[in-house]
Amino acid sequence: MKTSESIDNSSVHHELRCRHPNRRMDSSSDQASQAMQAGPSQPVAPSHGVAPVWHTLVLIAGIAAVSIAGMVRPAHLHGSSNRLAAYATTALMELVMLGWVVLGLRLRKVPLRSLLGMTAAGWRGIMSDVQIAILFWFGSMVVLGGLGAVWMRVEATVTHQQEAMRSGRGNELTPSERKATQEMEQIAPRGGEEIACWVLLCAIAGFVEEVVFRGYLQTQFTAWARGAAAAGVVFSAMMFGAAHGYQGVRNMTLLAAFGVMFSLLALRRRSLRACIFAHGWHDLVAGLALGVLRSHHVV
């Protein structure tokens, strides 16, 4: 049985609903707007991350194990059959890594699409990201070229190689750099079949590695750092560089810097699509250029 006070309260609530029928709708709209504004480093997910901690640690351990194996593996790939096998093995490893990430997301009921961020639909949106990816690639090559030159100068100073540089022997590579260069040259495609497989591999690697490093890991590290985006950028870039152990310390360091630039692009665009385009393009051009130089006995 309602008292007079409860009747009065019901009347007041009814009057408020009549005066402000859209108040709840506005609140939901604000929440949806905030969700749409979330970038790839801040997907709609629990504040403690998009996957369990143990899942991320297993992924990090797997990346480290593969990188160390690449560092100690002798570079002796010869013949097209071995190159095609290497492409297939690499593609399989990339897909396994993507599958592991998807599993971690499912454990927290986070959709994979949330890591990709906001993307404009239609060809106009795609072409805009393509243009940005090309500009980003040229700019990043300039930055990496400058960092590489500084590295060589510092290394020459530290190891007292000035005399060797004056005598024309300053371009000699260290054993680790020589091994990395040799292995990169040997996986460079030669011939139509290898080039076609290389294009497919670059497309897979561009998508998977951006989802893993700039999407999943950057998000996880940011969440673990209580929302500090800088921590997500730095630690995901360090993992990106560390994943390429077969390329030597110098290239690992430069790739970590490359990872920072990719992360900044992802944060700026609130999307991974331009990063995916730039990443795949970089791998494609690098492989084709090495193949051409190799065929002309330049390297």
Task: Show me where the domains of the chain are located.
Answer: 45-295
Quote the CA–CA distance of 270 and 184 in Å, as a whole number.
32
Average pLDDT estimate for 177-181: 61
Burial of 241 (0-12, 13-18, 19+ CB in 10 A): buried
pLDDT at position 1 over 50:
no
pLDDT tens digits, 275-291: 999 999 999 999 998 88
Task: Write the DSSP symbol of residue 174.
Answer: P
Contact indicator for 35, 44 with CB cutoff of 8 Å = yes
Query: Where is pLDDT greater, at 154 or 78?
Result: 154
pLDDT tens digits, 33-83: 443 344 444 444 456 799 999 999 999 999 999 999 888 765 554 455 688
Confidence of residue 18 (pLDDT cuts 50, 70, 90): very low
